Chains A and B, each alone.
Chain A
């Protein structure tokens, strides 16, 4: 894999790129962190995002982008290091602690994050947020899940369909 900074002749200082949110806020961040996004990595490898230019992200608002970058900055060193196999147990524990706190947020923020991670193709963040939502569902009865996720109470027709489903998928309710 190629090194994003190769050839920029700027030894020592990390290369920076600018990202512009949908509401026109500019974020300056190390290229290494932004490159956790597969989508941005290609642009950055092509030399984009530096100097006065920025990379516009019309699908991500500033609050969400700020949160996304918090994740990327924290995870960039481990990713640059080849990921988990070379990380020490202490590093991994610290990242795990960070991740747990990171997703301890309102559902609306969670869903904004999951869309942004999806659009920007940040694999680790996609998994982290999807797992968080899965944890909110896991082990709960259908009615508890409906309440947790804010579904309206089922109509009589829906209730009848639910009952039919429980008969058809008996193994899932034993």
Chain B
């Protein structure tokens, strides 16, 4: 318990979390602080490239083993299964319609890449190693949840079709292409490649992450201000309970796979996080009748801050305790 509290305290007082808190506070106070749209886009491109590249370098250094394949399979399975659990939980805890519940459930099977980036940063700061290929697992977990949500809807007799454009948008969305592409570049060029650009992608990483999370805080704060009305107590409770349940499944998967402490923690983070980029866009196309203010406010305004502040230290502490680190 002391370890969890200590990690949580350190995490809460890190520049990353305080930058996020500043953004939330500024938005709630109706400050005119904003990060220009193009700058925010550039920051996210930088972070995705850096995290993908470093993951690829790590794989090139440590080699590929069967765990990589099994981890990918486990990630895909978790992404497909978690929406079904979330859907059942939403039916019990909230009065959401079937459509809204399925749309929300899809978000909780998919992942938040920013939460993943923040968790890897905390792990690095704590000196805890993790498998570089977890980046690939993150990419693999983006899409299966969307199919599960559509299946949940089709079971109610309301069949939805995934058209070719939607498939392309999901599988080739910019974040996935950049993450997977930079992963392969890092894998191909290895330590030598990293040495060439480390002054760009290693040293400034945390500073850029702070600015990006400042923007995310502003977005989350605006979402809470504008969409807070849709968060009835049951819905709000779901946004806090589901990540803990999801992390439990991630923990089991990580332990069964025999991942390192950092790898288990990242599997928990991926299973606990909720998407707010790929899945909302897919839901707008596939389930346009579902209310976007519910799923966007929940994933971005409730679950994302929870994971960032309390979830990550909790998951790392549990992973450390159960892997004997």
Q: Say whether A associates with B.
A: no
Interface residues of chain B, those whose CB is within 8 Å of chain A, are: none
